[in-house]
Amino acid sequence: MVGRWIVIGCLLLSAAPAKAWDNFGHMEAAVSTLELPKEFKALVVLAGGAVVLAAILTVCRADAGIGYVIPAFFISGFLADAFTGLAHFCFDYVFPESIPIFGPIAREFREHHEYPTLDPSNYIENLTKGAYASLPTTALTVWAAYELPVGAVSFVVVATLLGMSLWALLFHQIHSYAHMGSILPPEELHARVVEIRRLESHSEKVREFAKLFEAVPIPPVVRFLQRYRLILNPSTHNLHHVLFESDFSSVNGWSDPVLNFVLRPIARRRKAAMEMETRAKS
């Protein structure tokens, strides 16, 4: 019963439109379309606490085993990465800007193409966006920890869901470290993207992005994780900003080879259609 109420409560909190928070002082005046608050400290605390609770429930299961943690880590990393890639693609090319909640997010994603200023020092904003993605997954983790029968497969499922909850909470903070917006101005990034776009080979483009971000003071631990592809690497992620047709993921890039094969031709067609619509309106 407790697990079910946690599921319901978390889903309501993560799905509620911005107007639901007016009385709590967590948003600015209502806009033309419903949108979620950009910064919500209470939600971040709730999401972090929910992940801790889910972790305790997972570890306390009778079938818990350290040997299952490693596969759960990699499975959850791939699935979370793929989810962010699919969501990114949809916000770039599927959702219209006029619809409630998803519309403002789509507009923000498209503005990010022009002004890639994500800043890792904006912890509350980054983690708020992560909390919206994390809470439903954490709720599902709590339910699974209570309801799934004891067994190795069940534990891997629960641990994978827990990993996805944590990846989701951190995804936008990770994404921001691939841009370092407060240190690398968008004008400079744009200028380098234009230069890199002219290069013929994929490897040359990756190498030039790597040179660009080597000069940026990324924290050593973060740079280590980026270099070994445990989190999103700037030199590969920023290939998305060359043509906006590939490399949509925002966690670690593990799913990009698969998603690029599927999404690149669709993105190419959608981009051409959107450009034609823009020209027709002008």
Q: Quick one: pLDDT at residue 33?
A: 61
Among 100-104, 124-128, 189-193, the range scoring the smallest mean pLDDT is: 189-193
Q: Quick one: pLDDT at residue 182?
A: 66
Closest alpha carbon to 111 in 98, 97, 90: 97
196-207 average pLDDT score: 84
Q: Quick one: pLDDT at residue 111?
A: 83
Question: How far apart are alpha carbons 75 and 83 in whole angstroms?
Answer: 12
Q: Is pLDDT above 50 for 50?
A: yes
Q: Which tokens hold the place of 142?
A: 């709590």
Q: In Å, how far are 60, 72, 85 from 175, measured between CA atoms?
A: 32, 22, 12
Neighbours of 109 (CB within 10 A): 18
Q: Quick one: pLDDT at residue 18?
A: 41
Closest alpha carbon to 177 in 134, 133, 234, 132: 234
Q: Which tokens hold the place of 42?
A: 């209470």
Query: How would you label 126-138 residue by residue, b for 16+ Cβ within 10 Å and e otherwise?
Result: bbbbbbbbbbbbb
Question: How far apart are alpha carbons 63 and 209 in whole angstroms?
Answer: 45
Q: Quick one: pLDDT at residue 97?
A: 87
**Per-residue pLDDT tens for 223-256?**
999 999 999 999 888 889 888 899 999 999 999 9
Q: Quick one: pLDDT at residue 9?
A: 43
Structural Rg of the chain based on CA atoms: 20
Which of residues 126 and 202 earns the better pLDDT score?
126
Q: Quick one: pLDDT at residue 113?
A: 78
Q: Quick one: pLDDT at residue 95?
A: 92
Do residues 252 and 232 touch, judged by C-beta distance below 8 A?
A: yes
60-86 average pLDDT score: 95
Q: What is the largest CA-CA distance in the chain?
A: 64
User: Which residue's structure tokens are 């959702």?
Assistant: 95
195-205 average pLDDT score: 83
Do residues 6 and 128 touch, judged by C-beta distance below 8 A?
A: no
Which of residues 128 and 188 earns the better pLDDT score?
128
Given pLDDT bands bounded at 50, 70 and 90, which one contains residue 275? confident
User: Which residue's structure tokens are 């909390």?
Assistant: 131
Given pLDDT bands bounded at 50, 70 and 90, which one contains residue 21? very low
Q: Is pLDDT above 70 for 5?
A: no
For the chain, the structural domain boundaries read: 2-281
* Average pLDDT in the chain: 85
